[in-house]
């Protein structure tokens, strides 16, 4: 497995693979790998000849009062895990190599970024789309694999690829959960035992919304009251949003139907911000 630190080295390697007829699947990550990341790598291995994993804690998607400094990092641990998967190369650039002095270009998707996380994290998604577009330009993948845990991010990246005619096929993986239902996240490492219990407020709220919907409650106003009371019954929780949105436009909905996604963002003990989501009426599986 190759490890590249500079964009020039990564691009040169990718060009050589393309000239030899190999296809590349990219898994963009911020590191501190868990089973969710490893599942993305395994899916990527099914989509192309070679898997490239990028590992970059992108500073431009963190606001001034967010957890950039506390975001978990352990490069050697990550390399131990990634070497157990079918990964051909890791791209682990420095912030200085990705954003050299004088950098001033931004890629943004307007409408999809104003909802959900975009309301409380101004500039976040512009940071995401800028870095993802840079990764696509550097790695030149045929396929890129993302998790569905950040539903809004996935929708925005799909829109960017479509709007900008970027020749990358986007593949998504359903949320990977712990045995108790908690969505896997690198930020889970920042939870102490008490906060770990409070973190279950998100997944249990999703299950509660589905149960109430099956019982005939489809009014978003009524469901929102039920879910907010449920989440706040866990000690130390504060709701950023509990929103019922259209799965394609992310616009708020008033009545639940087959297109409705429940998107959740909750702060635990004022320190750890977690997200979760899911269709309120689950899609049938084959």
Residue 100, CA distances (Å) to 7, 93, 96, 105, 134 in order: 11, 12, 5, 11, 13
β strands within 174-259, DSSP E: 237-246
Choosing from 34, 37, 124, 230, which is the catalytic residue?
A: 37
Active site residue 34: no
Among residues 225, 177, 230, 182, the alpha carbon closest in space to that of 208 is found at 230
HSE value, Cβ hemisphere, 13 Å, CA-based, for 267: 10
Question: Using CB atoms within 10 A of its CB, is residue 156 exposed (0-12), middle (13-18) or buried (19+)?
Answer: buried
HSE value, Cβ hemisphere, 13 Å, CA-based, for 166: 26
CB 208 within 8 A of CB 262: no
Name the β-bridge partners of 24: 50
CB 63 within 8 A of CB 121: yes
Please list the active-site residues.
37
């Amino acid at each position: 497995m190759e490890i590249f630190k500079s964009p020039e080295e990564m691009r040169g390697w990718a060009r050589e693979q393309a000239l030899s007829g190999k296809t590349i699947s990219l898994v963009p990550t911020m590191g501190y790998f868990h089973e969710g990341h490893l599942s993305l790598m395994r899916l990527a291995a099914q989509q192309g000849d070679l898997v490239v994993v990028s590992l970059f804690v992108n500073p431009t998607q963190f606001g001034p009062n967010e957890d950039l400094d506390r975001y978990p990092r352990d490069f050697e641990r990550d390399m131990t895990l990634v070497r157990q998967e079918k990964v051909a190369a890791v791209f682990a650039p420095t912030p200085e190599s990705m954003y050299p002095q004088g950098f001033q270009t931004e890629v943004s998707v307007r409408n999809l970024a104003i909802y959900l996380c975009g309301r409380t994290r101004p500039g976040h998604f512009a940071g995401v789309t800028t870095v993802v577009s840079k990764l696509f330009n550097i790695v030149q993948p045929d396929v890129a694999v993302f998790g569905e845990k950040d539903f809004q991010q996935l929708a925005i990246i799909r829109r960017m690829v479509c709007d900008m005619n970027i020749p990358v096929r986007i593949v998504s993986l359903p949320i990977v959960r712990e045995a108790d239902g908690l969505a896997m996240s690198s930020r889970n490492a920042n939870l102490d035992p008490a906060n770990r219990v409070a973190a279950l407020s998100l997944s249990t709220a999703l299950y509660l919304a589905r149960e109430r919907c099956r019982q005939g409650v489809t009014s978003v106003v009524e469901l929102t009251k039920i879910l907010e009371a449920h989440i706040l019954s866990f000690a130390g929780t504060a709701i950023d949003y509990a929103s019922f949105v259209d799965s394609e436009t992310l616009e708020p909905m008033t009545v639940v139907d087959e297109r409705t996604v429940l998107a959740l963002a909750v702060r635990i003990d004022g320190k750890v911000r977690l997200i979760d989501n899911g269709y309120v009426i689950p899609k049938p599986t084959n």
